[in-house]
Chain A
Amino acid sequence: MRHGKYPFIIGFLVVPLALYLVFVVGAYLQMFQLSLTDWSGYGGFSYIGLENFQKLWDDPVFWVALRHNLYLLILMPIVTIALALFFAFLLNSGGKKAGGVWGSKVYRVIFFFPQLLALAIVAVIFGRVFGSDKSGMINGLLPQSWTPWLFLADERWALTCILVVLVWQAVGFYVVLFSAGMGSIAEEIYEAAALDGATKITLFFRITLPLLWDTLQVAWVYLGIAAFDAFALVNIMSVNHGGPNNSTQVLSMQIYLNAFQNSQAGYASALGVVLFFLTLTFAALTLRVTRRDAVQA
């Protein structure tokens, strides 16, 4: 038995690992290489050192996109986690015996539903919801005499509209995730606390939240990475791919535009390198900062 174990495990791992090395690690390495070239996407290229990064530093659109990514990075996890925790707590309401709200099992399915839709479909649907004239769903529900809200056509609100959709799409998954986490908390703890006269709010902050910390940490990292992306929604929903007036521009959109439309694959790779390090730094920081908190709890 024993001597057959390693070939067995290796046999299973080799193929996925090789695929990962070739298609993920290999692609990343190539991106690092290409970020130092002037490759257009067609034809040959030559090495130009760090010129792409210099250009990036001087590019105002890059900074606008970065600012929007940071806006999403801060708001999307906070709002999503807060809502998901709220809903999950309502569904479970601390411990099985206490019971959640009526019909909580059905709600759980409903909450999870957006997760089953392809992001592109979600984007198309919400494009109609936020339609800027009376044919849009929200505007259609408003009184006829009102001037339509512009939503995605309004520079001040376009990015927030996209944030709303990002949150809507993500929240259900975390409701289910947190519900599972809450379900695994021993009931005795709640019972003991309840006997001591703790209110539901106290139960939530003093018991549920601390014991859920690991799950929250994972959620935060995942949501942060999603906030660095947001490509599908921006590409499909926004006016003019990141507009109006770059008000919804994000880094992933810039990578796409430069690589596939502007024929500036080298420059796009440089953007990719920046995004890679930003995401990595974010994940490392989050895990580091939240680990200390977890110990305190």
Chain B
Amino acid sequence: MSVTTDRRTLLRRAAAVGLVAAPGVSFLSACAGSDDSSDDTKQATGTKSADNPLGIDPKAGIEIVIFDGGLGTKYATDVDTPLYNKKWPDSKVTYSATQQVATTIKPRLNSGNAPDMINNSGSDIMDFGAIVKAGQAADLTDLFAAPSLDIEGKTVAETLVPGAVQQGTYDGKPFAVNYSFTVFGLWYNKKLFDKNKWTIPTTWADFTALLEKIKAAGITPFSYAGANASYYMVRAIMTSAAKIGTEQVLKDIDNLKPGAWTNEAVKQAAAAWGEVGKKFANPSHLGLKHTEVQLQQNQDKVAFYPCGSWLENEQAASTPAGFEYAMMAFPSVTASDKLPATAINAAAGEIYFAAAKSKNPQGGKEYLRTMLSKEAALEFTKLTKSLTVVAGAADGVTISPGLTSANDALSKAGQDVFMGYLFDTWYKKLDDASREAANQLFFKGGDAQKFCDTMEAASQAVAKDSSITKFTRS
């Protein structure tokens, strides 16, 4: 369970890295007295060439640190490192894995002895904005401009899904590779739906009609775990709001714009979901944890579950043979939704970065270039059942059914893929408020106006609090 908790934490947190104006000078590194230490570390460099676009020293070793969580570490030891060594046989890769990223890495960053490539995630994640601000992350401009390792005629940046580079960009410069790609939607058991001849709805009327049918069959039609996963419900409400009024609605919310939460789109989304809660909620699920409700879904006691594409992998051990994960896009709420019913919320997450003050930052970047090759991305997907930001790397390959359906939904969405919101990681206080408000909305009678007003007040309280560092996005 700790593994899955880490996984969801990392995805939720890491999905939101981008576009952050990094907060103030690192106090902790200042304490360690090494923040302004000059570049006395000899950094390995080589000659740039077509074959060596990042100019690494082929003989210099690199050190990488991987977070040992829900994704495991096999992709690094069995795929990325052998691939890297195939091209650079004289460069020794020193590998280590940790579950305590900040505990093990922070002191090393502060003492100027950083590993070359770091996977920053898990519950002990480092505040990446602070790392950028302290000059500890290497500028990845040359990496993204370099040619792809195995996709002919394209730069690394050109091989990625739209928005992937931007999500790791701080003050105009890219510093992070957000490697994994999460698709959010409504998850259900395809076999159960086929058996009952339930068809996948695209309009809200069809959706609620189906929920009625499911309820009549004695199954909780839609649920989530109120005790620790209410942000899944926040995601559902926000996704519907974005479909009604485009992603701009969410951008306004992130930017703490007055009136953003009382926007008509948010109100309509909250009203629609509040109504679902009122009619179909199982009040005892307010007290349950994510694994408990997910298990109930695996037992066909819950039909729809709003979640990200990590769900299938997370539940792999408890999924019975009669259960086959599939994902559908959130249905349109109104007839005049600005985004089509196929529109999908999907975001890059899971930070990998090269340390600026390590012995061989260019080697660290070369390792990242290896990870961003099509071959490495495909193997990563096979091993972790998670898509990557390498566009189309998993196309036409047999992957798990749930991920296949997420991939299909993604291709059906076409250009209508939106990144979502960042307020939950920017302003933890607002995140807490939204979780509580979502629980109240769904389990306590569905008062949409109250939801909007509570969140508007919480948002403006954050806006007025000068001690909270503000971020904006466009």
Contact = CB atoms under 8 A, between A and B. Distances in A.
B125 to A, nearest CB: 12
Interface string A122-157: 000000001111011001000000001011110000
Interface stretch (A76-84, A255-263, A272-280): A255-263
A240 B467 contact: no
A39 B133 CA distance: 16
B296 to A, nearest CB: 9
Interface stretch (A4-12, A17-25, A41-49, A97-105): A41-49
Contacts of A94: none
Contacts of B382: none
A245 interface: yes
B145 interface: no
Contacts of B432: 240-241, 257, 261-262
A260 to B, nearest CB: 9
Contact of B467 (A40, A42, A139, A152): A40
B101 to A, nearest CB: 15
For B28, B127, B226, B284, the residue with the greatest tally of chain A CB atoms inside 10 Å of its CB is B284
B252 to A, nearest CB: 22
Interface in A237-272: 239-241, 243-246, 257, 261-264, 266-267
Nearest to A45: B27
Contacts of A151: 287
Contacts of A267: 467
B436 A243 contact: yes
A243 B27 CA distance: 33
Contact of B230 (A133, A240, A257): A240
B25 A43 contact: yes
A39 B226 CA distance: 32
Contact of B24 (A42, A133, A139, A262): A42
A150 B286 contact: yes
Contacts of B428: 257, 261-263
Contacts of A133: 282, 284-285, 287-288
B469 A244 contact: no
B283 interface: yes
Contacts of B209: none
A38 interface: yes
B435 interface: yes
A131 B296 CA distance: 14
A246 B26 CA distance: 33
Contacts of A239: 226-228, 286-287, 439
Contacts of A135: 292
**Which range holds the interface residue count of chain B?**
35 or more
* Chain A at the B interface: SS class: loop
Contacts of B429: 262
B106 to A, nearest CB: 10
A42 B436 contact: no
Contacts, number: 103
Contacts of B28: 42
A171 to B, nearest CB: 25
B427 to A, nearest CB: 8
A153 B467 contact: no
B301 to A, nearest CB: 10
B284 A150 contact: yes
Interface in A24-83: 38-40, 42-45, 48, 51, 55
B130 interface: yes
Interface string A105-134: 000000000000000000000000011110
B392 interface: no
A266 B24 CA distance: 15
A43 B439 CA distance: 34
Given A42-B130, A240-B228, A240-B435, A131 B287 contact: yes
B24 A150 contact: no
A247 B25 CA distance: 37
A222 to B, nearest CB: 31
A31 B435 CA distance: 30
A152 B287 contact: yes
Given A132-B284, A133-B287, A153 B227 contact: yes
A130 B227 CA distance: 13
A263 to B, nearest CB: 7
A51 B292 CA distance: 43
B205 interface: no
Contacts of A148: 284
B440 interface: yes
Given A132-B286, A132-B287, A150-B284, A240 B439 contact: yes
A263 B282 CA distance: 35
* In the A-B complex, the 4 residue pairs with the closest CB atoms: A132-B287, A153-B287, A43-B24, A133-B284
Interface of B: 23-28, 30, 127, 129-130, 133, 226-228, 230, 282-288, 292, 428-429, 432, 435-436, 439-440, 443, 465-469
Given A239-B226, A239-B228, A263-B127, 17 more contacts: A39-B27, A40-B467, A43-B24, A43-B26, A43-B27, A44-B27, A44-B30, A51-B467, A133-B287, A136-B287, A148-B284, A239-B286, A240-B439, A244-B226, A244-B286, A245-B436, A263-B468
6 contacts: A40-B23, A40-B469, A131-B292, A150-B283, A239-B287, A264-B468
Interface of A: 38-40, 42-45, 48, 51, 55, 130-133, 135-136, 139, 148, 150-153, 239-241, 243-246, 257, 261-264, 266-267
